[in-house]
Structure 1
Amino acid sequence: MMYRLFLLLVLGTSITAYAAEPETAPSGVSANNYSADLAQLYRESRLEDPRVLMAFARAQAGREREREAFGALLPQVSANSSFNRTSRDDERTREQYNNDRYALSLSQHLYNKEAWERYQKFKDLAKQSEFESTDAQAEATIELAQRYFVALASDDELELIMAERRATQKNLDRVNALYARQMAMVTDVLDLKARVDALAAQEVEARNQVRLSREALAELVGRPVNERLSRIREDVELQVPSGSLESWAERALNASPALQAQQGGVSAANAALREARGGHYPSLSLGLSAQRSNVGYDNTLAPRTDTYVATLGVQIPLYSGGSTSARVRALYNDQITAEQQLEGVRRQVLKETTSAYLSIQASVEKVKASRNALESAEQSSIAAEKGFSFGVVNAVDVLTSVQNEYKARRDLLKSQYDFINGLLSLNRWAGGLSESSIENVNQWLAQNNEEARALERKTTE
């Protein structure tokens, strides 16, 4: 019993002394030397993310196709000319001469339902491309933020595991020394060694996750992300955004880019159907032409003449083998498909908006609960160390309390990350995600080391 009490006193003294040495076993994640934040990576990804660049190119292509269709409604003007050198031989004479022809023509649709509805179709498709581009950029922003905070969580996990492993290894060394002098029980040695081995395995996996998370960021910004990342300040108060769930849902139905893009698709499908039906309608066109020529029959030389022609043409479709009607029926079904896709997107927008709003509410409560849990874990760790020094608890109990403290810290950080991801997702589905949204979140990140190390001091004081 005396040797057991002596062992507990020695280990209690060592753990208490160890807790007073933050440089050898920091209980939090250091924020030193962070040089990259979310806004910086966001700006880089706008220039490097292939999805963003493709979305912009598709929007540009949609605008140009609209302009192409509009051009078909405008007057079509063409000019042509020819120059001939003719040599003519017969039985008695041989002659050579030059002649030329110049012509200018203009044609204009006066009534062409197909051409007009085709323009309306591409106009709606251009709007759809614009909203799809906006939604694609918003989706890329959400993924960047998620990968950013996954990388932070991976850094947290690695540093916390390393800190816990160093603490456990130091106490294992002390117990081994006592065991060599037959002053410690073998069960204490085995328990501590098992914990060290488990932490070593966890550290290997954590290092791998850090590398994987950085590679995921590099995929979006187009370069290796090796600098340390800014983390959330300790003094930030996270709150549920103003407005009820119903108001956010209504905002999403009115402003969601995904929903607006699909509405453009429905309008384009309607225009395509009207275009196909226009194949049954007559068309009316006007043609004007002017010609100057001295070319006669069979390229003979003729007096120079000026000719002016005005044409009013009417084309009435009578029968096309049933292809026009078949096309109308096919596009009618395409219209139904587009309408059902719109309904599916509408339901998705409502679901995602509701999920994001409820997740934000839960994250705010979880942040508060995690702060309380961290304070309780810190107090429990301090009490366990004191109890250990008096022989009330054993070494494994103290190490378990330290492990619980690290877990509480990790849970607090994760709940903060979940809140920010949920907030950005809510803004995305409500159509309010922009660069200013990223800048607002970036203001919550530490701009210097002191702001980010507030959590660390609580467990080292």
Structure 2
Amino acid sequence: MQTAMTRTRDTSRGFGHAMAQRSRPRGVAIRIGVLIVFTLGPVQASHALGLADAYEAALQHDPLYAAAAQEKAAGDANRAIGRSYLLPSLSANYANYRDWTRTTYLDSQNGNQSINQTYHAYSAGVSLRQPLINYEGLARYRYGKAVALASDATFDDRGEDLLVRVLTAYTDTVFAFDQLALASAQTTALDEQLAVNEAMLRSGEGTRTDVLETRAKLELARSDVADAQDSLDNAAHALDAVTGVPLSADVAKLDRLSDAFQPSMPSPAGFEQWRDIALDSNAELIAERHTVEAARQQLEVVHAGFYPHVDLVASIGQNQSNTVDIIGQRYFTKAAGIEVTIPLYSGGLVRASSEQASANYQKTQFELQDETNKVLLELRKQYNLCVSSLSRIRALQSAVDSATLLITATHKSVQAGTRTNFDVLSATQQLYQARRDLARARYQYMIANLSLRHAAGILTAQDLYETARWFTPPGALTPIAKAGAPAPVARQAHAM
């Protein structure tokens, strides 16, 4: 950049003092273009934090993901809970106490007689119950499995969602940092432009209109800097919350998106194929289907209230003086047999509960239909965004190239007297906006690509690692940054 500026000054001297004064706005305008072109270039920083590093940190620190893991653990417990209704139950009991008893013998002829007794009593035993025919237990077992599978699918969805949230927070922060750098560079360049305009006005070679135009652009640029600072602070703290890494104090450690990034068409190319994949693999839909099955099994649990239970029971125990009839006697008892329980009437509880469970079952079916519609709508939205981003990025890249060349052409026109200071400022603003929109479009494509795979239910950590390859550590020049727009500007200045 210094070489380009030196050439501009040497060339201007060849036209004499008056031409040198006229070329000063042109030299500053070239610096505006150079600053903006290089603004999105790398920033020197040590210990760069890459996108993959941010994801690894989020796995350990993101509270939503941690909560999802605990929710999964709670859901998995339903398997054991449901299975317990089909397994035998074993219990033991023991009691040891001292009794004081007063017994009165009724005798109408000789009168009542009473005897006071004090004695030691105890009982101990072990009992076993094994369900043989238990429709309710079978339904509860299936219910527990369905709930556990739903929680597993929900956890898978939270894992995919974490990948999208990490990429979103990371790119939002990098984009905000780039915009702050662009706005700051534009402000610096416009400060110098204003100084030149004021100097030319004092020497009688400039106009007050040029000064006012530049000052107005400068104030707008300062406003952009303030907005960019707010956006960067908000985005950095959002990234802090996801990763648990305090990055808000030094966002320059984040990797930058390479200018060599090239988006590609989603594969498979057709939306109908994506639709079929989503209906089969989307984790939210899988969770909803298991929720519907759980509601159906809950209905079966209630229906079991109409059916008898058959259990195998066995017990062994020893008793001593535990009733007044066997004071001073000890019994050792073993028992085994079949126990049948037949429900007859429960005050309408079973019927009312059945109606309630049936309504809940139908509700989950409607919720599944609604979730399916939402998933397919989100799928189409992200698919369209991916496809449209391809042409948008190509158009914006062309706009950046054209805006860079426009600055050089405008310098020549100002030199020839056919363009004004306002045209230089407009061309500079156009380049600034084109680079900003190009960066935003690239990040939007990245997020849309991962969101598309998330909606289809096939997003994995490997997809994020593949995306991370397009980011380069601070200090590493990208191919396009090495051969950026300043070279043509410098050659045009030398030709003048």
Does residue 41 of structure 2 align to residue 16 of structure 1? no
Equivalent residue runs for 1:114-263 within 5 Å: 114-226=136-248, 227-228=251-252, 229-243=254-268, 244-263=270-289
SS at match of 1:215: helix
**Whole-angstrom distance in 1 between the partners of 2:256 and 2:221:** 25
User: What does the per-residue CA deviation read over 1:91-139, in whole Å, with 9 as the maximum and x for residues that have no partner?
Assistant: 9x99987665431110111111112212211211111111112212322
Seen in structure 2, the aligned counterparts of structure 1 residues 173 and 17 have a Cα distance that, compared at 3 Å, is closer
**Whole-angstrom distance in 1 between the partners of 2:483 and 2:279:** 46
User: What does the per-residue CA deviation read over 1:389-438, in whole Å, with 9 as the maximum and x for residues that have no partner?
Assistant: 22221111112112111211112111110110011001101111222121
SS at match of 2:42: coil
Residue 26 of structure 1 deviates from its aligned partner by 6.1
Q: Given residue 39 of structure 2, which amino acid in structure 1 is its aligned partner?
A: G
Residue 188 of structure 1 deviates from its aligned partner by 0.9
SS at match of 1:449: coil
SS at match of 1:81: strand
SS at match of 1:358: helix
**Structure 1: which 5+ runs fail to align?**
none
Q: Larger C-alpha radius of gyration, 1 or 2?
A: 2
TM-score (norm 2): 0.85
Within the candidate set 30, 33, 55, 2:41 is matched to 30
Percent identity (aligned): 24
Q: Which residue of 1 aligns with 2:334?
A: 308
RMSD across aligned positions (CA)? 2.7
| Number of residue-to-residue matches in the alignment | 457
**Whole-angstrom distance in 2 between the partners of 1:61 and 1:335:** 22
Q: Given residue 261 of structure 2, which amino acid in structure 1 is its aligned partner?
A: V
Equivalent residue runs for 1:41-80 within 5 Å: 41-80=54-93
**Structure 2: which 5+ runs fail to align?**
1-15, 104-112, 488-496
8 Å CA contact 1:148–1:217 kept in 2: the answer is yes
8 Å CA contact 1:8–1:390 kept in 2: the answer is no
Equivalent residue runs for 1:209-358 within 5 Å: 209-226=231-248, 227-228=251-252, 229-243=254-268, 244-295=270-321, 297-298=323-324, 302=328, 304-358=330-384
**Whole-angstrom distance in 2 between the partners of 1:214 and 1:181:** 47
Q: Which residue of 1 aligns with 2:484?
A: 458
User: What does the per-residue CA deviation read over 1:158-184, in whole Å, with 9 as the maximum and x for residues that have no partner?
Assistant: 111111111111011011112123332
Seen in structure 2, the aligned counterparts of structure 1 residues 88 and 113 have a Cα distance that, compared at 3 Å, is closer
Within the candidate set 45, 48, 52, 1:39 is matched to 52
Q: Which residue of 1 aligns with 2:425?
A: 399
**Whole-angstrom distance in 2 between the partners of 1:180 and 1:117:** 92
Q: Given residue 36 of structure 1, which amino acid in structure 2 is its aligned partner?
A: L
**Whole-angstrom distance in 2 between the partners of 1:448 and 1:72:** 60
**Whole-angstrom distance in 1 between the partners of 2:97 and 2:313:** 27
Q: Given residue 198 of structure 2, which amino acid in structure 1 is its aligned partner?
A: N
Residue 296 of structure 1 deviates from its aligned partner by 5.7
Residue 18 of structure 1 deviates from its aligned partner by 6.0
Q: Given residue 257 of structure 2, which amino acid in structure 1 is its aligned partner?
A: I
| Further displaced range: 148-157 or 220-229 | 220-229
Seen in structure 2, the aligned counterparts of structure 1 residues 316 and 16 have a Cα distance that, compared at 3 Å, is same
**Whole-angstrom distance in 2 between the partners of 1:56 and 1:111:** 36
**Whole-angstrom distance in 2 between the partners of 1:103 and 1:27:** 86
8 Å CA contact 1:165–1:196 kept in 2: the answer is yes
